[in-house]
Structure 1
Amino acid sequence: MKEPTIHNLQMNTTYGNLNAAVGRVEFEGEAAGAEGRLFKLPPMCKVVGLKLVNDALGASTTVKVDAVDKAGNRTAMLSPANTATAGRVDYDGAPVMLDVATTIAATTAGGAATGVIDVVLQYIYIGA
């Protein structure tokens, strides 16, 4: 599995404190349950938008996106999305406040996954 090794955040001051980041994971035949880490966010970030764009990953595959803190607690960001065919899924829930340092992770289910997913994350850094 290929996943980012350097996690960086870029401030986008043109639009105030709204930030956008793009993370990519390439699954290489990983079995169901494979988890790719996309981003590391500092404490006090509010997620206001998320898009999952995927290749056709294989029959019966799904991908879900969660926010995972250091203790392993998970906050669902995107319900399992069907990734058997190429597509795009948008998060349509209320903004989610992440009070502690958090990793955004994508997890596969169903069958073996082969292909690329991109996640576009929009968040506001509130700060301490």
Structure 2
Amino acid sequence: MEGFAALGVVVNVAQVLEYGFKLLQKSGNLRDVGVLDPDLDNDARRVRTLAASLSTQALPTSHEGLQNLALQCVEVSAELIEELDALRVTDPKSKRQRVMAIWKSERRKKHIDTLEKRLNSYKTQLNLHLSSLSR
């Protein structure tokens, strides 16, 4: 029984360390790049640009679903970018600003994760639509 208790303590310590490392990584990203998750920020901006160009193109009525999907993708990516921009720091060297941005991001994590999942879903659907058009 004592072995399981010790294992439980070790697992809890590992989880705390992992969480701490993630927070340090976010702080490093803020210091180096100015955003918490540069990959997510770049991806959202790239998808918004692509989807915006698709939504404004004159497509045949048979591709109306593609345009609607592109519009939804633009909306979600714009909302995600807005959330990420709200977490940017004006002075990346300021520890206080970085701590506040990380704290805000932890409070908004569920909403940001939801937006990221929706955006990934729309990206997958756009890829399927575009690949079916190329055939």
Per the normalisation by structure 2, the TM-score is 0.25
Q: Which has the higher strand share?
A: 1
Per the normalisation by structure 1, the TM-score is 0.26
Larger Rg: 2
Of structures 1 and 2, the one scoring higher in RCO (CA 8 A, sep 6+) is 1
